[in-house]
């Protein structure tokens, strides 16, 4: 049974481990993540995450059987640098992803040492709190070319029929210098454009996403598009499927509009 794909806004830092410090700041996001496993047609055999927190020349795939933790954040409480999300890896899935991309002539390699970064473990913690679903990460190509990443999604689409849940993890708005009330309207304008563009399917949607930088307030919302490009992979793997907004908040961090999407 074919699984959907997702683009998930993953929040800020290691928030699932900071309830004491942050209270209900991410309660709405957490509820949306907790709901995902219950809305799948079957439990996934594994999760493939394209994280906005891993870029390489070409593409890299995490291939460790027991991936460690990558604490790629700064200025958070000491205890957040000792947390654990001990999900197993899947060398078999890593090999399969490698074969799919290599067959298309892409520059791709296996990385046997890469651990899980917070773009992965923060959003998986509410979804699979027991860390009992194998996880593989696929890096972004540092070129951040939208068309190339959409094509990668197309190449990965057969995995959906094999019990693999494909997730692009980023943020629909990611301008860390402008998380203030002045970002309220720009973030909403870009989100409105994004949702309208995703309402198309096939070539129409792909064409709009490839030109995302010309959207209203695009470079305000994404001065650098590392947290948007994971969306392209999720869309490419479900190019002709309709979308659903599964999370939408207009007061994240007090004033930011952010969304998450399901395809298929």
Does 39 score more than 90 pLDDT? yes
**What average pLDDT score do residues 151-165 get?**
98
Per-residue pLDDT, averaged over 155-161, amounts to: 98
Please state the rounded mean pLDDT for residues 81-110.
98
> Which tokens go with 188?
């909403």
Q: What is the mean pLDDT of residues 98-110?
A: 98
pLDDT value at position 179?
A: 86
In angstroms, rounded to a whole number, what is the distance separating the alpha carbons of residues 28 and 252? 9
Total domains present in the chain: 1
Cα angle: 134, vertex 154, 162; to 5 degrees: 40
Note the pLDDT of residue 138: 98
Whole-number Å distance between alpha carbons of 160 and 125: 22
Q: Which domain holds residue 60?
A: 5-263
Q: Residue 249 above 90 pLDDT?
A: yes
* pLDDT on residue 176: 84
| Neighbouring C-alpha atoms within 13 Å toward the C-beta of 102 | 11
The CATH number linked to 178 is 3.40.830.10
- pLDDT score, position 164: 98
What is the structure's pLDDT at 17? 97
pLDDT in tens, 163-209: 999 999 999 999 988 989 999 999 999 999 999 999 999 999 999 99
Quote the CA–CA distance of 102 and 112 in Å, as a whole number.
17
91 pLDDT exceeds 90? yes
Label residue 1 by pLDDT band (50, 70, 90).
Answer: confident
pLDDT at 155: 98
Mean pLDDT, range 53-76, rounded to an integer: 97
* b/e sequence 243-252, b meaning 16+ C-beta within 10 Å: bebbbbbeeb
Residue 27: partners with Cβ closer than 8 Å, 6 or more residues away? none
- The answer to whether residue 259 scores a pLDDT higher than 90 is yes
């Amino acid at each position: 049974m074919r699984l959907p794909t997702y683009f998930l806004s993953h929040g800020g830092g290691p928030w699932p481990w900071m309830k004491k410090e942050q209270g209900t700041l991410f309660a709405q996001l957490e509820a949306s993540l907790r709901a995902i496993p219950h809305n799948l047609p079957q439990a996934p055999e594994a999760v493939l995450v394209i994280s906005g927190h891993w870029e390489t020349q070409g593409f890299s795939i995490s291939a460790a059987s027991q991936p460690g933790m990558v604490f790629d954040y700064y200025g958070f409480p000491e205890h957040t640098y000792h947390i654990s999300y001990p999900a197993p890896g899947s060398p078999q899935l890593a090999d399969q992803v490698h074969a799919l991309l290599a067959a298309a002539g892409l520059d791709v390699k296996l990385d046997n040492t890469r651990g899980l970064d917070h773009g992965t473990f923060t959003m998986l913690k509410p979804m699979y709190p027991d860390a009992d679903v194998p996880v593989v990460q696929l890096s972004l190509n540092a070129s951040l070319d939208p068309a190339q990443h959409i094509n990668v999604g197309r190449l990965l689409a057969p995995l959906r029929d094999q019990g693999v849940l494909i997730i692009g993890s980023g943020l629909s708005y990611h301008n860390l210098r402008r998380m203030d009330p002045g970002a309220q309207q720009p973030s909403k304008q870009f989100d409105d454009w994004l949702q309208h563009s995703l309402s198309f399917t096939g070539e129409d949607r792909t064409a709009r996403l490839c030109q995302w930088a010309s959207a209203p307030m695009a470079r305000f919302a994404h001065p650098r598009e590392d947290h948007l490009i994971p969306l392209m992979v999720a869309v490419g793997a479900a190019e002709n499927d309709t979308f659903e907004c599964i999370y939408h908040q207009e007061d994240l961090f007090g004033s930011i509009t952010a969304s998450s999407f399901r395809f298929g």
